[in-house]
A and B are shown apart, each in its own frame.
Chain A
């Protein structure tokens, strides 16, 4: 039996295969022939892959459709979790499977550069149409590596039902004004047990303690800037406003709680970004936006994050991808669509002016003008793990402010190496 069985099985296999190829192969030849003839008339068959996240997909899809119509190329939008894009882009571009274009945040640039996964972009004459801060954020060593589309920063959001007047310019006065409203919380800021140095950063800079020092042209060096007296003053201020002090800050207030309490109308002021405005308004609040008040001697400068599109260094369709970015995305229409899909401040000046008629957007625009771009140097990745927890421990009283702050600076310096 053994002797006969193998040939029988193989014969059956061959028969099956023949049946398969009988149906399949000529068909695929036909289609490929069709493709070549059609391709003679258009760019069909060329495929551009773009990674987008859920929020921005519709807007990019709109621009992609125009592009498809005019060039005949196919644009494939791959929806990703925004948080995953950085790691996936780094891992996949070298394999050749990555996208041609991806949406991303400017602070990823540092790691994209050292990994060589990103191509430079030339906006040519369109450069002047974009806000300086947005272009700067996507610039590394004098080269532009992305098309910025939105600028965002946190600001002081005010519930006008509780506090109709613009917020005072200093932290203490704001808290006093907040207390005067009689609301449960004079001021709400999300903190959590791991801290939130991003949201707190405006206060930190008002003490003159930036995370990294900036060189004259505005680019960040890898020298920690938050040590010394300025940092100590900030640390002590954090402790003084924790549960052992005024009680304004609490590590119990997580993101969820801060949002829920603010939406419930229990606080006149909170620090948050434009991404939550729709949610707050849906909860029935009327809002106004003020700049972040200063807690220290200087102006509060929150982080400005810039969102944009990166071009893969290994794109096989770089020409088309460039065409798409510079001629289809870098247009006021596409930028407006992006704004409508995901309301963040447009990086294109003309579009920003257009939406600034909305007082909320105008408020965020004004707040972001005080801001500084979030560092995009690779060293920034090593900072967060120490920074947040130290702040949380100082606020909760689990650590001595000055001592903990110095340890943190030393630890970060050690991690950066």
Chain B
């Protein structure tokens, strides 16, 4: 119990260390040595260390070297940071950075790795599993063969099957084909209950012994000396039937041989078994493919046509969404940041309403309300006198609808942020402006806005990037439609780059190509990262005014 409890605390602990900071650092540290702050810090660090050591120890026991290494690294760094007088900024950054590194960067790195493989449908796992699957698929029951009551038997560590065939009990192992066991007895259920010379394995024992289970499942008892007659296998341990496998796996030569036709399938560099005349077995495995996914992403002609239009719309969508929702949020924040308005608490809470409901519910709601037929669509019925306005199926209206719905969904976010931002504006600056006789508009334009922009510009960039990849709203509202009439890919006027990736990579259709999707994700990431990085650099000037 307690080991778990210690680890349990890692979350909160890693959040806490700054508390311990009270007692450390520079002159303060000396004065307070032995004081309350130092004790608090020591306790917290002890907890962190205990958790870290516990984690490292279980990683060592489990043989998870990656995690062991990570735990040791984290311990070393944490102790160094918090007991060193240097690395002051790191004392503040470390907790968040650790979480970021472990939980966020891992996904990015992993996606990067996948981008260089052929991971996807047909190349889903390891070669070992592909071999398993091929063997499963090639082994089939001999047509018309009976199902025999079966008992698992054992002798000197060798497992065998005893089946009841008519009146006769026959017993055999992997090496020795079935042979009659004349003195065996059969129980009421029709299964062999006692086989002279063999120990009968009770069904219960089979259930609890996983190693034995595996052995039994893999056991094939030849029916006769002729391999073509097939072998007895069991699936649940109480009945057996005759099966015949047509594939044979040779791990040394890395080949699959079809015993019926004699065709040899070799493991190739693409992660598949292929024969000399190019035929392949259905199941493949994951292998590295170098830059193939990237070249495919760039050269796929099916998509190069709509690519420009989709890119243009992606940018317009992201920019317009951020601009509209920021403006609405800002105006609301400014207007209701006024002590003279009564009931502000209630009003503000009501403004937050769209934000308080699950977003996908809201998207589906809007989809329903935007139904062009006023009999069903509330918008046309209430606001457009029952006109038939195809909000979601006309190319331009669909774009407009998406932006308007997204405005509804996200203005509370900006309202919240701008309200917070306005509150943090230094009163003295505002007052000074008032005393100087600056009018409302001037104060707003020359003081409030610039200050507000300093704190919100990075967020505007982040919001732009978020909407750049805002798959959900597009998917739920229009599904990318209306379709382009002039391309053969299933893409439409409201598709953005990320929903295009979703289509290209086939994740939608059940024939996923994660390798390609990852490569495309990385390309999009590079694009958006570069743009945002540049935009962010520009805001630096703005910031340095302060």
Contacts and interface: CB of A to CB of B under 8 A. Distances in A.
Interface of A: 1-2, 5-6, 8-10, 12-17, 19-25, 27, 39-46, 71-73, 86-87, 90, 93-94, 108, 110-111, 113-117, 119-122, 124-125, 141-143, 193-194, 250-254, 256-257, 313-314, 316-320, 322-323, 326-327, 378, 380-382, 384-386, 389, 393, 396, 398-399, 407, 410-411, 414-415
Contacts of B46: 9, 12-13, 15-16
Give the most central of B2, B42, B208: most A CB within 10 Å.
B208
B393 A24 contact: no
B206 interface: yes
Contact of A143 (B125, B137, B234): B137
B509 A115 contact: no
Give the most central of A115, A117, A318: most B CB within 10 Å.
A115
A143 B247 CA distance: 15
Contact of B49 (A10, A253, A399): A10
- Shortest beta-carbon contacts, A-B, top 8: A116-B133, A94-B125, A43-B207, A12-B46, A381-B510, A381-B509, A13-B49, A116-B283
A15 B204 CA distance: 45
Contacts, number: 228
B490 A386 contact: yes
Interface string B224-246: 00000000001111110100000
Contact of B207 (A72, A194, A254, A326): A72
Given A20-B6, A124-B147, A313 B136 contact: yes
B208 A13 contact: no
Interface residues of B, number: 83
B279 interface: no
A114 B121 contact: yes
Interface stretch (B172-180, B210-218, B352-360): B210-218
B511 interface: yes
B405 to A, nearest CB: 15
B163 interface: no
A399 B484 CA distance: 11
Contacts of A125: 147
A320 B213 contact: yes
Given A252-B373, A382-B511, A17 B53 contact: yes
Give the most central of A16, A24, A327, A381: most B CB within 10 Å.
A16
Given A13-B53, A382-B506, A141 B137 contact: yes
B121 A378 contact: yes
A6 B208 CA distance: 48
Contacts of A46: 207-208, 210
Interface stretch (B77-85, B312-320, B337-345, B454-462): B77-85
A114 B33 CA distance: 66
Interface of B: 1-6, 29-30, 33, 42-43, 45-47, 49-50, 53-54, 79, 83-85, 121-122, 124-126, 129-130, 132-134, 136-137, 139-141, 147, 204, 206-208, 210, 213-214, 216-217, 234-239, 241, 282-283, 302, 368, 371-373, 375-377, 392-393, 478-479, 481-483, 485, 488-490, 503, 506-512
Contacts of B137: 113, 116, 120, 141, 143
B39 to A, nearest CB: 10
B3 A21 contact: yes
Contact of A317 (B121, B126, B213, B375): B213
B147 A385 contact: no
Give the most central of A25, A384, A385, A410: most B CB within 10 Å.
A385
5 contacts: A9-B46, A16-B46, A46-B210, A116-B133, A411-B490
A43 B202 CA distance: 11
Contacts of A108: 510
A380 to B, nearest CB: 8
Given A116-B132, A254-B371, A320-B213, A20 B54 contact: yes
A410 B488 contact: yes
A235 to B, nearest CB: 15
Contacts of A194: 479, 481
B122 to A, nearest CB: 5
Given A43-B208, A122-B241, A193-B392, A111 B373 contact: no
